[in-house]
């Protein structure tokens, strides 16, 4: 089985690569590429994202054919895809970081700045926060309900359909931190930086 981590120049993804290789051991082939042919022939895709919504969307579009390939993979062929951090946020229709930017439109909704309650909550939200699993998600199998995950973000995904939300975390408000829609999975937190609980999520995705 081939699991592809999409490298589209969106920042340092070495921790994502290392975590997936650690979990996969020699059982699964982990490849890192932006090559459309290799992505199309993959069994599963990981879409990481660091930086702003705008910069990540632009970086995707800067690689010829990549967005079309991702749409074909996830929407037409319905193969499993995991978005991490901004990788999840780009599922939305639109994001409002820097300027209004069109997203991939896979899950209807928007990405807006976290309400920091007039400065009572620091932004960016950095550090460990408790996971509130609210629906039976395949990627949370064997993950304890109140596990702590590692976050780094100032913006949150607000999906129109609340049924796609699989987990939230309490920071200023009830923030969406994981979604699942058919074959599309996303985490706002970084499983690759979340110790054993995060590695369990990676393992669950690989074994879908």
Active-site residue (options: 97, 156, 180, 192):
192
- The yes-or-no answer on residue 190 being catalytic is yes
Residue 124 preceded by cis peptide, ω within 30: yes
Rounded to an integer, what distance in angstroms lies between the CA atom of residue 1 and that of residue 44? 8
97 is known as an active-site residue: no
The catalytic residue among 85, 125, 177, 180 is 85
- The Cα 101–Cα 93 span in angstroms is 9
Active-site annotation holder among 97, 125, 180, 190? 190
192 is catalytic: yes
Positions marked active-site:
85, 190, 192
């Amino acid at each position: 089985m081939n699991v592809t981590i999409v490298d589209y120049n969106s920042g340092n993804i070495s921790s994502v690569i290392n975590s997936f290789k650690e979990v996969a051991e020699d059982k699964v082939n982990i490849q890192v590429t932006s090559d459309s042919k290799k992505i199309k022939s993959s069994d599963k895709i990981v879409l990481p994202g660091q930086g702003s919504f705008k910069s990540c969307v632009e970086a995707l579009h800067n690689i010829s054919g990549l967005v079309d390939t991702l749409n074909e993979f996830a929407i037409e062929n319905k193969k499993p895809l995991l978005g991490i951090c901004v990788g999840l946020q780009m599922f939305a229709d639109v994001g409002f970081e820097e300027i209004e930017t069109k997203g991939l439109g896979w899950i209807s909704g928007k990405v807006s700045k976290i309400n920091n309650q007039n400065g009572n909550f620091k932004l960016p939200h950095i550090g460990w926060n408790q996971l509130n699993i609210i629906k039976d998600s395949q990627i949370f199998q064997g993950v304890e309900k109140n596990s702590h995950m590692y976050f780094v973000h100032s913006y949150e995904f607000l999906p129109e359909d609340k049924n796609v939300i699989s987990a939230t975390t309490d920071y200023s408000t009830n923030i969406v931190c994981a979604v699942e829609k058919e074959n599309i999975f996303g985490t706002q937190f970084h499983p690759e930086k979340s110790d054993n609980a995060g590695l369990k999520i990676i393992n669950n995705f690989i074994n879908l």
